[in-house]
Amino acid sequence: MYAERIHCFFIFELMKFTAEQIASMLEGKVEGNPSAEVSALAKIEEGFTGALSFLSNPKYEAFIYKTESTACIVNNTFTPTSPLPKTLTLIKVEDAYSCFAKLLEMYNSMTKETPRIENPSFIDETAKVGSNLFLGAFSYIARDTVVGDDVAIHPNVNVGTNVRIGDGTIIYPGATIYRDCVIGKNCIIHAGAVIGADGFGFAPDKNGKFQQIPQIGNVVLEDNVDVGANTTIDRATMGSTIIRTGAKIDNLVQIGHNVEIGSDTAMAAQVGVAGSCKIGNNVMVGGQVGFAGHLNIGNKVMVAAQSGVAGSVKDGSVLMGTPAFDSKEYKKSYLGFRRLPRILSRIQAIEDKIKALTKD
């Protein structure tokens, strides 16, 4: 999804920036009025006077010729094919998308909570917390836990015994971090996420009754990991469930015990990863994909939405379908599947002709 779809909001309350100032921040150049002032960000199709928009996806180019935004960030390669509004100033940069993201990050840094400890909240006397902590009301930090510097723990968060939380991490309301888990630096854990609940470990006894297998491991999130709202990451039976540096996990994802997810891998919503599955680096996973347990998924694999992955996968594979297989072969097979009614009708017609020819 492109940032053109982000609803407008103020960059800094009651502050204005000129096009020239913004161009300087983004190492870009101005085409138009360098003194044009902006104080808000807006979708290009919903621009208004004083707004700054951006254009990187050609799909939205038509809007730049009628936008009411005061300024627009575009790629250096952008060349208008129609007259631009006379009131519009362009800020040309190397990569409009990344530059707009940089502005969003600047805005986001200004919205961080002021360090403080709200009441009621609880920090065990054996816990160690760093400087500049924000601890929201009704949050709980259990014994022997260590919290780094510049951490924000929002209201109603429960941090269990012997947890480690790295510098700069943000934990949003209602999240739960179970005992012994390790959260790296600059991670983001969104509302309602559960890190370190028991893995789904049960074994039937001789009478067919399920007996729980104790889950004594933990979960390790390395640095710069994002975990979406209401996502659950189960603790290992033994050892660790590991989410490597830079991985991005969307909302409503279930990650089973002893799973390992590689660096800079991204998973969309409602993905399910069964226990002991190993997923490589830079893997892209669409929504509602299911992975069977004990698989090895290579690096730079891409899996289309709603696929079911039942076997291990080599590096660089692109998969679709259930069970998932090569996307090119899947598309060919799907075309054949769509033709089945017509093929069956033709077969029936041929059978009818054969019967008519062979009739006594």
Provide mean pLDDT across the span 12-35.
86
Per-residue confidence band for 360, with pLDDT thresholds at 50, 70 and 90: low
Q: Which CATH class is domain 3-110?
A: alpha beta
The CATH T-level fold of domain 175-323 is UDP N-Acetylglucosamine Acyltransferase; domain 1 (2.160.10)
Which pair of structure tokens corresponds to residue 126?
């054996």
pLDDT score for 130: 97
CB 216 within 8 A of CB 238: yes
Tell me the CB-side half-sphere exposure of residue 190, using CA atoms within 13 A. 14
pLDDT > 70: what percent of the chain?
96
The dihedral of CA 46, 52, 57, 61: what is its sign? Answer: positive
Lowest mean pLDDT among 225-229, 272-276, 331-335: 331-335
pLDDT score for 343: 87
Q: How crowded is residue 12: how many other Cβ atoms within 10 Å of its Cβ?
A: 12
* CA 145 – CA 164 distance, rounded (Å): 6
Residue 190 annotated to the active site: no
pLDDT score for 11: 40
Smallest Cα–Cα separation from 277: which of 305, 308, 304?
A: 308
Smallest Cα–Cα separation from 235: which of 315, 333, 162?
A: 162
**Average pLDDT score over the chain:** 92
Per-residue confidence band for 357, with pLDDT thresholds at 50, 70 and 90: confident
Domain extents in the chain: 3-110, 175-323
* CA 186 – CA 167 distance, rounded (Å): 6
Strands 182-183 and 164-165, sheet pairing: parallel
Whether 8 shows a pLDDT value over 50: the answer reads: no
List the catalytic residue out of 7, 154, 190, 257. Answer: 257
Provide mean pLDDT across the span 258-272.
98
Per-residue confidence band for 7, with pLDDT thresholds at 50, 70 and 90: very low
- Chain-centroid distance, C-alpha 294: 24
CB 237 within 8 A of CB 200: no
Per-residue confidence band for 3, with pLDDT thresholds at 50, 70 and 90: very low
Lowest mean pLDDT among 125-129, 155-159, 314-318, 337-341: 337-341
